[in-house]
Amino acid sequence: MYGKMKDHLQSELKAIDEAGLFKRERIITTPQGANVHVSTGEDVVIMCANNYLGLSSHPDVIQAAKDTLDSHGFGMSSVRFICGTQDIHKELEAKIAKFYGTEDTILYAAAFDANGGVFEPLFTAEDAIISDELNHASIIDGVRLCKAQRYRFKHSNMADLEDQLKAAQAQRFRVIVTDGVFSMDGDIAKMDEICALAEKYDALVMSDECHSAGFIGKTGRGVPEFCGVSDKMDIITGTLGKALGGAMGGYTTGKKEIIDMLRQKSRPYLFSNSLAPAIVGAANKVFDILSESTELRDRLEENTKYFKDRIIAAGFDIKAGNSPIVPIMLYDAALSQKFADLLLQEGVYAIGFFYPVVAKGAARIRTQISAAHSQIDLDKAIAAFIKVGKELDVIK
């Protein structure tokens, strides 16, 4: 049997490659950080990690992980409700709830699981899920696993959201779901307007804060804080795999009864392993660091401004936004790949994105700034962008 399937897979893979869409992994031989060494020999500045706060290799976070290995062991060999809950798991859930000002939190192995397991236990065919068209794949999959009626609104388009809310008035419960920050453009959801519409049309509000928790908003509490609606949110999902240490793990935080029900019925929680103690211990440290001071998010904001100002002054076209995601627009898929290759030769690691990851004709290099970047790192990246930009006639 496999012979037939092998031929089929080989020809599909070849087609992917010939379309220029084959994803290849670049191998890093050092810890994640502002600078890394890649297996092909280059020392490069990373401009494409979700390491917004530089916590992926922060010494205090590493130490906390080591200490927790000693105090709580390596693995749990269990799901949470059998024998996979330690004191540190409860401690982390409470810290996350305190961070957001919510009532309770449930941990998952990933935010993909948090989003995959949030809808089906709460909403049935009687209900409506109203989702931004650019929401993350894990939200789309989570919605697919649930029998609720689906409504989609045009990206951040409040008039269309209102139309969808009107169309969904016959349903029992309605929930509006949006990414907090959209990862490809770096734009921020209009959470204040969304919450106002939710009030008017009697809907719940859920935000996925994966690309905002820890650094968007005055104290880094994310998009609800940025938009002044922290007290209006019903459900927040997020990841420990980006700004918050960058290892892995996800969570859903919000109203007590919602979290209680997820503990009873959410399938990725019931049927997948407990988060490893070292990750939990390190994440507890991350929330301590973020609760003590806003130094890292402040530095990230300064770094973002520094980079953006100089990239704009050099003549590049960037997507405007209020996040550390700075997409440098090239509009041509082949050019975006060539640009990224030449950047690497200049010691800058960035990735070109093109259709279908972004819209047709909207190819770009997406850069992501980190609090870990020094001015020297940013200057190196800016100089490389200018050099390659001139070489490829993108700027004068």
Among 99, 112, 119, 123, binds ligand PLP (CB under 6 A): 112
Distances (CA, A) of 70 to 86, 119, 166, 277, 299: 14, 37, 55, 10, 33
Closest separation between CB of residue 181 and ligand PLP, Å?
Answer: 8
Q: Which stretch binds ligand PLP (CB under 6 A): 22-30, 65-73, 105-113, 355-363?
A: 105-113
User: What contacts 170, CB < 8 A, 6 or more positions away?
Assistant: none
Closest separation between CB of residue 98 and ligand PLP, Å?
Answer: 21
Nearer to ligand PLP, 280 or 344 (CB): 280
Closest separation between CB of residue 341 and ligand PLP, Å?
Answer: 25
Among 116, 224, 241, 389, binds ligand PLP (CB under 6 A): 241
Among 96, 111, 143, 206, binds ligand PLP (CB under 6 A): 111
Work out whether 266 is an interface residue with ligand PLP (CB under 6 A).
no
User: Which one is catalytic: 95, 211, 308, 373?
Assistant: 211
DSSP structure string for 176-231: EEEESB-TTT--B--HHHHHHHHHHTT-EEEEE-TTTTTTSSTTS--HHHHTT-GG
Q: What order do you get walking across the sheet with 174-179 strand by strand?
A: 104-108, 250-254, 235-239, 204-208, 174-179, 128-132, 149-153
Cis before 356 (ω within 30): yes
User: Distance between CA atoms of 297 and 304, rounded to whole angstroms?
Assistant: 10
Residue 58: active-site member: no
Nearer to ligand PLP, 115 or 284 (CB): 115
Q: Per-residue string for binding with ligand PLP, 322-341, x by CB under 6 A?
A: --------------------
Nearer to ligand PLP, 239 or 304 (CB): 239
Work out whether 378 is an interface residue with ligand PLP (CB under 6 A).
no
H or E element, residue 249: none
Closest separation between CB of residue 279 and ligand PLP, Å?
Answer: 11
Work out whether 32 is an interface residue with ligand PLP (CB under 6 A).
no
Closest separation between CB of residue 345 and ligand PLP, Å?
Answer: 29
Work out whether 268 is an interface residue with ligand PLP (CB under 6 A).
no
| Rounded (to 5) percent helix, strand, coil in the chain | 45, 15, 40
Work out whether 366 is an interface residue with ligand PLP (CB under 6 A).
no
Give the binding-site size for ligand PLP (rule: CB under 6 A).
Answer: 14
Work out whether 250 is an interface residue with ligand PLP (CB under 6 A).
yes
DSSP structure string for 257-293: HHHHHHHHH-HHHHSSPPPPHHHHHHHHHHHHHHHH-
Residue 183: active-site member: yes
Among 56, 68, 105, 183, binds ligand PLP (CB under 6 A): 183
Long-range pairs for 289-293: beta carbons < 8 A, 24 or more residues apart: 289/55, 289/58, 289/60, 289/61, 290/53, 290/99, 290/214, 290/220, 290/244, 291/95, 291/98, 291/99
Work out whether 211 is an interface residue with ligand PLP (CB under 6 A).
yes
Nearer to ligand PLP, 239 or 274 (CB): 239
Closest separation between CB of residue 249 and ligand PLP, Å?
Answer: 7
User: Distance between CA atoms of 355 and 361, rounded to whole angstroms?
Assistant: 7
Nearer to ligand PLP, 268 or 389 (CB): 268
Nearer to ligand PLP, 369 or 386 (CB): 369
Would strands 174-179 and 149-153 be described as parallel, antiparallel, or unpaired? Answer: unpaired
Closest separation between CB of residue 346 and ligand PLP, Å?
Answer: 28
H or E element, residue 112: helix 111-116
Do the Cβ atoms of 240 and 210 come closer than 8 Å? no
Catalytic positions: 183, 211, 242
Residues that bind ligand PLP (CB under 6 A): 110-112, 115, 136, 138, 179, 183, 208, 210-211, 239, 241, 250
